[in-house]
Amino acid sequence: MKPRIGIAANERTVVDGETFWLSYTAKNFVEGIQQAGGLPLLLPIGDPEDAKDYINQVDKLFLGGGHDVSPQFYHQAPSSYLEATNEARDRFELALIKEAVAQGKPIFGVCRGMQLLNVAFDGTLYQDLSAYPNETLPHVQHESMAKVSHEVTIEKNSHLGNFLPEHYQVNSFHHQTIDRVATPFKVIARATDGVIEAIESQGLASTILAVQWHPELTRAVIAREQQIFDYFVQSL
């Protein structure tokens, strides 16, 4: 049986004469999981009390990108640089994380997914990279996201280090980043300016891996980026 991968869905409106709400995820995530041999299942934003039932139905949890994490969840007031948030999404995904850990099921996060995982375990974020003291790289690239834009250094003794080189090129599209790293995580990749690019869990019932870049947008042209999905689905 294929591993069932629960993808925490986002939501948006479309207007075509009338306004319609959509629950969705990026097709790139779906295809990356399918190519890796997984069976993707969307988990629409809902009542946090339903998180246990959702996690019961899947083998692993995937958290994608999108909204800024609401700063109330890491005990900060909103800054003027904060972009769109979705408190209902935050609460639901935080409940999914809590339940996945309770059931010992692996979690993989991308971009916002990494940031939310850090917040879920009492870490904090820079609400905007303008507050980061050492930024020297443009972390919002203006060229195609199918192209890489900067280097990261990956710890050899880590999940990513099992199949990626120590010096690795990635794409970049984020204006927030991890500030204080939550206790259950160790940093396993950084950009050359020190911005955290990947974390993994230590000492939790669940194995957790997360990256700040977007492998779903490069996987069709860079084979090693698809390997990240392969590793999540088959090995994490």
Please enumerate in sequence order all residues whose Cβ is within 8 A of that of 223, keeping only pairs 6 or more positions apart, or say none. Answer: none
**Does the annotation count 197 as an active-site position?**
no
> Considering 139, 150, 159, 214, which one is annotated as catalytic?
214
- Count how many Cα atoms sit within 13 Å of the Cα of residue 205 in the half-sphere of its side chain: 10
Helix, strand, or coil (residue 159): coil
Sorted by sequence, the CB contacts under 8 Å of residue 25 that are 6+ apart come out as 7, 8, 9, 10, 40, 42, 64
Crossing angle of helices 27-35 and 223-234, in 10° steps, is 70
Catalytic residue among 93, 111, 150, 225: 111
Residue from 93, 197, 200, 216 carrying the catalytic annotation: 216
Is 214 a known active-site residue?
yes
- Which token pair is 190? 């950084």
Q: Is the dihedral of CA 204, 209, 212, 214 positive or negative?
A: negative
DSSP 26: -
Q: Which amino acids are annotated catalytic?
A: 111, 214, 216
